[in-house]
Amino acid sequence: MLGAVLALALAGCGERSRHAVIPAGATVVALGDSLTYGTGAESASSYPSVLAAVTAWHVVNAGVPGETAAQGCDRLPGLIAAHRPALVLLGGNDFLRHRPDAAISDALAACAASARDAATTLVLMPVPRLGLSGLSDAPLYAEASRTLRVPMVDAGLSDFLGQSAMRADPIHLNATGYRAMAERVAQGLRAEGLLGR
């Protein structure tokens, strides 16, 4: 009997936290910079547009080229009031703008607070940072996900921006890259339980 109880307890410890499925037709806000906006491709090929087709959600493209996480988080309360989203997807341009990690962490915390106040789910999408070995996801996003208790989904940007066939220029994707990004985001949202199978 004790063994069965222990096995159940250990199984429970290994489970990932799951979220309520966001239904078809729900509004989702995609917040970020030029990679959210879709620079390098037609607007219909931006990752929010492709994600809308993949998920049957109404995805609002709130990307602004050059915007940092702090600037996006300043806009978030107004976007929530205007659109009443069930979900907010957050990226940013902080590393190209050389923002310090502490400022980025503070901005992510502000976004999480705005989403929590509105009973909206926030999902972080890590932003690639250029290092000695090339592009890699900045670890502060994983740290923020843990400390803020919000899900994180890998959008694949470090991978896709490293492939010339997926880039319009050194820092922007093309239509092929944005489709791959949207599909990777959808895959991650399914893993988190936010998108139905």
Q: What is the pLDDT of residue 4?
A: 39
| Total domains present in the chain | 1
Tokens of 37: 């906006």
Sign of CA dihedral 156, 169, 134, 92: negative
Q: Is residue 61 part of a domain?
A: yes
Q: Is residue 10 part of a domain?
A: no
- Identify the weakest region by mean pLDDT among 10-14, 41-45, 110-114, 116-120: 10-14
From residue 30, alpha-carbon distances to 33, 58, 127 in Å are 10, 10, 14
For residues 40 and 17, what is the distance between their CA atoms, to the nearest angstrom? 36
Residues in the chain: 197
Question: Quick one: which H or E segment has residue 8?
Answer: helix 2-14
Which CATH number goes with the domain that contains 86?
Answer: 3.40.50.1110
Q: What is the pLDDT of residue 68?
A: 86
Across the range 108-135, mean pLDDT stands at 84
Please give the residue that has the higher pLDDT: either 42 or 95. 42
Domain around 55:
21-191
Q: Are 126 and 181 in contact (CB under 8 A)?
A: no
Q: Is residue 1 part of a domain?
A: no
Q: Is residue 13 part of a domain?
A: no
Q: Is residue 112 part of a domain?
A: yes
pLDDT, mean over the chain:
86
Q: Is residue 157 part of a domain?
A: yes
Task: Classify residue 132 by its DSSP letter.
Answer: T
Q: Is residue 98 part of a domain?
A: yes
Band (pLDDT 50/70/90 cuts) for residue 156 is very high
Across the range 34-42, mean pLDDT stands at 95
Q: What is the pLDDT of residue 46?
A: 98
Q: What is the pLDDT of residue 5?
A: 37
For residues 168 and 173, what is the distance between their CA atoms, to the nearest angstrom? 5
Main-chain phi, psi angles of 168, to 5 degrees: -85, -30
Q: Are 154 and 188 in contact (CB under 8 A)?
A: yes
| pLDDT one-digit tens code per residue, 101-113 | 888 889 999 999 9
Q: Is residue 196 part of a domain?
A: no
Across the range 136-144, mean pLDDT stands at 80
CA of residue 117 relative to chain centroid, distance? 19
For residues 176 and 174, what is the distance between their CA atoms, to the nearest angstrom? 5
